[in-house]
Amino acid sequence: MNIGNQLPGVLQRSNDESSRFKYLRISSKEISNGGTPSNFTVNFGNDGSLDRCMYIKPIACICPNVANNISVALSNNTFLITCTGTGLTYTSPDGFYSVSDLLGNLVIYINSVMGAGYCTGTIVNNHVVLTVTGSDILGISAVNNPMAYALGYTGSGFGASITAPSLPALSGATVLYIHSSTVGNNATYLNTSNNNVNGINGVFTMPMTGGFGTIESTLFDESQKLILGCSGMAVRQLNFTLRVNGGRLYSELTVNQEFILVLKIYMM
């Protein structure tokens, strides 16, 4: 029995669902020669149906969250401190650190220079505290001291014990930006921390909420859609660049890890 204008056996929920479409599964494991997991090109061969693409919707995305929260790229890997006039600079290897791990490494470094047991580090009410015994005085400046700032030392302090006035800020990656110079040539992203040059083409974004080491996944909502124009365009070969907070290239991704993006391609 037909109801209204519906055809027998066909329920047309929207014009989108009555259009021609195809799903594309993008994987960083399928990169072309010369690509990297954070900047790669995929080729879909001679599929002529992909030559008249009207718009693209992201359906789902899976990505390992392995972005560092301390690194050279983030410019927050050094901690400056004076110990009774002796200036020390601790440089941390790139990595993702908890507050306690980073504080512990800093204390080990100070004691290796100033002597065993010279300094202790504690966390009191979630605030970092550095303490020395005896009459020595510590000095921490928040100016040009990026790791100190990340640990909560947002103001300068002096004394035998210095409590960070602010809570630590070691969040790591909280968003993944998925760019494509192939299909996003009319979209412009923010200045990037790599070269401070505008012009990185933007397409889709993915929230990174699980923290370091988790496999992040999302189902995109209907609001993220890339319209390519009435005449359509060829999408047989697509380039993707992955960036995280501040537009930094997601260089921590390796060939042993996999980024997956599922797209729905609507065709004329």
Domains in the chain: ranges and CATH = 20-67+172-267 (2.60.120.1100), 78-163 (no CATH)
Beta strand residue intervals within 202-236, DSSP E: 202-207, 215-219, 226-227
Amino acid occupying residue 143: V
Q: What are phi and psi of 120, to 5 degrees?
A: -130, 155
- Quote the pLDDT of residue 147: 93
Task: For residues 263 and 182, give the distance between their C-alpha atoms in angstroms, rounded to a whole number.
Answer: 14
- Quote the pLDDT of residue 184: 67
- Quote the pLDDT of residue 85: 85
- Quote the pLDDT of residue 202: 62
- Quote the pLDDT of residue 189: 54
Give, for all 268 residues of the chain, the pLDDT tens digit. Answer: 334 444 344 444 454 444 688 899 999 887 766 789 998 888 888 888 888 888 888 999 999 988 888 888 778 899 999 998 899 999 999 887 888 899 999 999 999 999 999 999 999 998 999 999 888 999 999 889 999 998 999 988 999 999 999 988 876 678 888 888 787 655 555 545 555 444 455 678 888 887 777 899 999 887 777 777 666 778 888 888 898 877 778 888 888 889 999 999 888 7
This prediction has a pTM of 0.66
- Report in angstroms the alpha-carbon separations of 187 from 53, 154, 191, 192: 17, 36, 13, 15
- Quote the pLDDT of residue 188: 52
- Quote the pLDDT of residue 8: 43
Q: Which residues of 168-197 are buried (b: 16+ CB within 10 A; e: fewer)?
A: bebebbeebbbbbbbbbeeeebeebbeeee
- Quote the pLDDT of residue 1: 38
* DSSP classification of residue 265: E
For the purposes of burial, counting CB atoms within 10 Å of the CB of 63, is it exposed (0-12), middle (13-18) or buried (19 or more)? Answer: buried
